[in-house]
Structure 1
Amino acid sequence: TGEYSLQLSNPLLSPVSVTVSVAQGTPSDLFILEQPSRFTENGRLLADQPKLELQDAAGNTIDGLVATSWAGLTLTAKVVPDPPEEAGKVFLSTFAEGCFRFQNVQVVAAYGMAYRLKFTLIPMRGLALDSVLSRVIEAEPCDERDFFTPGATQCASCPRGAVCNSTQHLVTQPNFWRPSAASLTFIECKSGACLGGQPLHA
């Protein structure tokens, strides 16, 4: 932004100087400068907090002196879809120094689900922008010796008689069986005839 001088010249004519004023446009888009953490440790703030800026219709950043005229704008961040805990909770950030910086965002994610942050500007001074979505956020992977149940917010220790690999899929150890693929009860075979590695009793 500012004023620029253009010097126009031609060998047959006298030089002409033209002053051009360049100004930033009105904010028209939200742009994510820094994405939130890819994984969340439930119960803790995201290690990487999101940061967004305003851009005009040409993709120019609204910054410098122009940005001060938009001071006080408020941006909300909401987890979508609603997590099993803290459903409907909204995080706020105020436009300052040319951007929105969030500091207290946390996501209590259910295992087996993918979440995003939906950023929405609270309409003010006639300014209303489209919402934007962050990248996917998921629960921190379980330890290799643990497993998770879809919908749960914490990992669980591997049951005796099972082989776990940090996912929801458990298989039986040799000489064990279980009543169904959904059962978390692993029963030791008395005859020693169970092969293991099977989700169902054979």
Structure 2
Amino acid sequence: MESKYAEKYQDRLILGDDGDEDELFDELEKDIEDQFLAKYRAERIQQLKQEITKIKDHSSNINLNDHGNMKTIDTDDELLKETVDSERVVIHFFNPSFSTCRIMDEKLSIISTKHIGTRFFRIEAHRAPFLVAKLGIKVLPCVVLYYKGLERDRIVGFDRLSNSQTNFELEALEELLLDSGIVERRTVDFSNLRNKVQNKVDQSKSDSESDLDM
């Protein structure tokens, strides 16, 4: 690119022009900026296309009971299978009679609607005696984070979320999950997508019933 402007400067000198260097520098700077912006735009467009493709892939394989919400698990065996079958997993071991567990469950449920690449499960601690013993869980709520079947981190009580033992901010929990890599930075309100899919299913059923009535 620089040689093009050097040639311009040389041509001007040959034609008897004094050769305004500043003008050439300005042209070069503008050219560089235009090329940089074009490259930047192309990169951002490609990133957006990749994100859209990812969302389409998730939505096309949507299971209304498994993604975008907290799924309740009843046994050790079921929980182990779900954990092995999923790349990113959040498991809430809880006791429904504990107010702290109810608070944790409520906020995890909200976060689960936004992060479609992560599976969120809840299980009452007494229903998972094997895992509770194996993981050494002694305090509830206990949230264990798994990546590719291996424990990445865990949250015990409200430690690391707040100085208070009675409540914490939703953002503190989400940031901790983001930092651990268990949820991804970009999010989608999956509850809206799930509602749209459910509406389509309901509409399809309605249309089918109308056809049968005719």
Task: Please say whether Structure 1 and Structure 2 have the same fold, judged by a TM-score greater than 0.5.
Answer: no
Does 1 or 2 have the higher relative contact order (CA < 8 Å, sep 6+)? Answer: 2
TM interval, shorter chain, is: under 0.3
Of Structure 1 and Structure 2, which has the larger fraction of its residues in helix? 2
> Given the two structures, how large is their TM-score scaled by the length of structure 2?
0.22
> Given the two structures, how large is their TM-score scaled by the length of structure 1?
0.23
Of Structure 1 and Structure 2, which has the larger fraction of its residues in strand? 1
